Amino acid sequence: MIFNGFHVMENIMLIYCAVKVNGLVCKDPMQVQAEDFFFSGLHLRGNTSNPVGSRVTTVFAAQLPGLNTLGISMVRIDYAPWGQNPPHIHPRATEILTVLEGTLQVGFVTSNPDNRFITKVLKKGDVFVFPVGLVHFQHNVGNGYAVAIAALSSQNPGAITIANAVFGANPPIPGDILAKAFQVDKSVVEQLQSKF
């Protein structure tokens, strides 16, 4: 049955394949398979051998096409001992996180002008919410590995890691602008930029 340009099939409304939604081409409803709604791999530990000691495994519309337009996604986050998911934002999603293993210090900063730091230490089974668009982080405060699962209120939440965006921009943000913004010497900015 066709309704206003949409094809309704088994109570699922899908847009014809010629249309892009969220930058992804929707599949012809007659070609949809179970695999379009399936993802496997969240049981696998992510490689945390990197400077921040964490790995985020995403299940967004790019990895699971059936999520497109549904307004939800999820991630698995693995943390090495003392590793962190560094300060970042999701411009299009609120995040709800639950700890499956280990102990995490989590927190977010409210918006200007207050910039209040809200933080809590979470243990296995604890849940915490990060409101949309606010700078937030998770830090493993234990000697063992930690694992969390998070759900996000968008099929494409986006992620902007603050340090990467500010000090790793390409082309670089001019050092004098960052020096003034952070109220440090330009040489400090250049040192930070060299790490990204």
Question: Dihedrals φ, ψ of 40, to 5°?
Answer: -125, 140
The candidate with the shortest Cα–Cα distance to 129, out of 94, 164, 85, is 94
Q: What digits encode the pLDDT tens for the residues 122-165?
A: 999 999 999 999 999 999 999 999 999 999 999 999 999 999 99
Q: What's residue 69's pLDDT?
A: 84
Domains for the chain: give ranges and CATH numbers: 39-158 (2.60.120.10), 160-195 (no CATH)
Tell me the mean pLDDT in the region 43-54. Answer: 97
Is the model's pLDDT at 85 over the cut of 90? Answer: yes
pTM for this entry: 0.85
Q: What's residue 3's pLDDT?
A: 41
> Residue 85, annotated ligand binder?
yes
> Residue 43, annotated ligand binder?
no
Consecutive H or E run containing 123: none
Sign of CA dihedral 177, 113, 168, 90: negative
On whether the CB atoms of residues 172 and 193 are closer than 8 A, the answer is yes
Is the model's pLDDT at 49 over the cut of 90? Answer: yes
Q: What's residue 18's pLDDT?
A: 57
Q: What digits encode the pLDDT tens for the residues 94-106?
A: 999 999 999 999 9
Consecutive H or E run containing 175: helix 175-182
> Residue 95, annotated ligand binder?
yes
Is the model's pLDDT at 53 over the cut of 80? Answer: yes
**What's the N-to-C CA distance of the chain in angstroms?**
52
pLDDT band, very low/low/confident/very high, at 179 (cuts 50, 70, 90): very high
